[in-house]
Amino acid sequence: MIVTAAVTTAPEKRPDTHELSANASSTALASPFEPVVETPSDQLDLWPSYIIPKEAIDAEIERLVSGPRSAEGWRRSLIRHPRSDGAGRGLAPGIRVTLEVLLPGESTPLVRHNSTQVVFCIQGGGRVIIDARSRRFGQYDVWVTPSMATYRHTNDSDTVQARLVYSNAALLEKLNVHYVDTYPAEKPVSDNEAGTLEAVSTPFEQLFQVAEDDMELWLMSYERLVNPPVQESVSLMWPWRLVKPELDKLHALGPSYKGRRLYLLYNPSTGRTNGTTYNFFATMTIRPAGIADRPHRHTAAAINYFFRGSGHSVVGGKVYQWKAGDLMLSAPGWEVHNHVSHDDDVYELTVQDSPLHLAMDSLLWQEDMKRDPILIGSHHGWNTNRDVVS
Ligand SMILES: [Fe+2]
């Protein structure tokens, strides 16, 4: 059964440590110190896998389009894992997923925030306007909403539009720094044009090395610290009509192929962290009928939306059946899992918070459960047999 809650931009007020300390001091001497407790990796309290079936998603779409819009002008629901509570609710601890719909002729309010989004159209189509640039989208297209970009969605079609929106708002709310501007200017605010390093006149170097013995250490000025080289975060869109033909070619890899038949919707701005946004990668996968992954695990959490075929997954030793139209927390971070396609080819979108972990140097990946985990990005990864089978 789907579990939903109205999407709010301000998480509920929770007592902070100062309030707790003040309360405690009325009965006992408060201390900021306590024992350090580290949970062994084999005793982590992982969230179980969780499926929101197509029927529940369809019913929620119907409920959203049948009632009035929210006071702010939205038709949307947050999809919450039963274990998610308090600030930063989501389908995984760091991934918020919302279901958003529009009736024909409707538009969302204009908004911007410092969270980034992967948006996936699961039904209908329309237009998205990001920083005043308008683009048309249809079913199974994927696009990115960059941080602090102003955007709105419009349904200029004659059918209901439904989108799944994957956001790092859950993480930012846990950090208590999710900035949401509900009345932004229509046009993007221009950069601070005076703030270029070249414009700063100073006898001091901005970035240089000092050396002692065999150590060479970098030092950076305050001016460079607060004004690093700008790398524009652009809004990219991957139309399904362009991705599907490339994906279908991976059929030729055959049943002996040991890798994953997928393409990452790669955003070059994310560089070596291999992301679609700075936080998530989104991959489109084809699973030919009767293909089974081998059991593996990674610290990144993965959420799958299946839109063709059916199959099952084994996650933490438990079997989960799924079919086209189901949304699934398919890989809670560090839980052992594998997926199996049944009688038809499967298409799926996977959103996974790997780029965040890669940037944090915490992306442990155990592809072979008989071997030690690899720290992706800092250790060498592994090869597949693609050169043999292709
Ligand atoms: Fe996985």
pLDDT tens for each residue of 122-167: 999 999 999 999 999 999 999 999 999 999 999 999 999 999 999 9
From ligand 1's centre to the CA of 198, what distance in Å?
Answer: 45
Sign of CA dihedral 219, 222, 223, 227: positive
From ligand 1's centre to the CA of 49, what distance in Å?
Answer: 12
Q: Is 359 helix (H, G, I), strand (E, B) or coil?
A: helix
pLDDT at 29 over 50: yes
From ligand 1's centre to the CA of 366, what distance in Å?
Answer: 9
Which stretch of 67-76, 205-214, 300-309 has the lowest confidence by average pLDDT?
205-214
pLDDT reported for residue 259: 86
From ligand 1's centre to the CA of 298, what distance in Å?
Answer: 7
In this structure, are residues 197 and 223 in contact, taking their beta carbons and an 8 Å threshold? yes
Which stretch of 49-53, 249-253, 323-327, 368-372 has the lowest confidence by average pLDDT?
249-253
| Residue 127, both tokens | 């237009």
From ligand 1's centre to the CA of 353, what distance in Å?
Answer: 11
Q: At the topology level of CATH, where does 48-181 sit?
A: Jelly Rolls (2.60.120)
From ligand 1's centre to the CA of 297, what distance in Å?
Answer: 6
From ligand 1's centre to the CA of 384, what distance in Å?
Answer: 15
Q: Is 192 helix (H, G, I), strand (E, B) or coil?
A: coil
- The residue type of 267 is N
Sign of CA dihedral 69, 183, 8, 165: positive
Residues with CB under 5 A from ligand 1 (ion): 331
Using CB atoms within 10 Å of the CB of residue 35, give its burial: 0 to 12 exposed, 13 to 18 middle, 19+ buried.
Answer: exposed
From ligand 1's centre to the CA of 296, what distance in Å?
Answer: 6
- Residues 6+ positions from 85 with CB-CB distance below 8 Å: none
pLDDT reported for residue 107: 98
pLDDT reported for residue 233: 86
From ligand 1's centre to the CA of 325, what distance in Å?
Answer: 20
pLDDT at 16 over 50: no
Among 267, 232, 9, 283, CA closest to 144? 267
From ligand 1's centre to the CA of 336, what distance in Å?
Answer: 8
From ligand 1's centre to the CA of 284, what distance in Å?
Answer: 13
From ligand 1's centre to the CA of 349, what distance in Å?
Answer: 13
In this structure, are residues 69 and 58 in contact, taking their beta carbons and an 8 Å threshold? no
In this structure, are residues 123 and 139 in contact, taking their beta carbons and an 8 Å threshold? yes
Cα radius of gyration (the chain): 23
Dist CA 103 CA 62 (whole Å): 11
CATH code: domain 239-377 is: 2.60.120.10
Dist CA 298 CA 277 (whole Å): 19
Using CB atoms within 10 Å of the CB of residue 353, give its burial: 0 to 12 exposed, 13 to 18 middle, 19+ buried.
Answer: buried
From ligand 1's centre to the CA of 230, what distance in Å?
Answer: 33
From ligand 1's centre to the CA of 291, what distance in Å?
Answer: 14
pLDDT category of residue 383 using cuts at 50, 70 and 90: confident
pLDDT digits (tens, 9 = 90+) for 199-211: 556 778 899 999 8
From ligand 1's centre to the CA of 265, what distance in Å?
Answer: 17
Return the H-helix or E-strand segment holding 165: strand 161-167
Dist CA 207 CA 275 (whole Å): 28
Among 168, 122, 172, CA closest to 142? 122
pLDDT at 3 over 90: no
From ligand 1's centre to the CA of 292, what distance in Å?
Answer: 12
Domain spans of the chain, in order of start: 48-181, 239-377
- Residues 6+ positions from 176 with CB-CB distance below 8 Å: 11, 87
Residue 2 CB neighbour total at 10 angstroms: 18
pLDDT reported for residue 12: 44
Say whether 239-377 and 48-181 share the same fold. Answer: yes
> Which residue bears the tokens 């409707």?
106
Measured CA distances, 90 to 79, 93, 346, 350, 353 (Å): 7, 6, 26, 16, 13
- Please give the distance of CA 118 from its chain centroid, rounded to a whole number: 7
pLDDT reported for residue 13: 43
Share of the chain above pLDDT 90, in %: 76
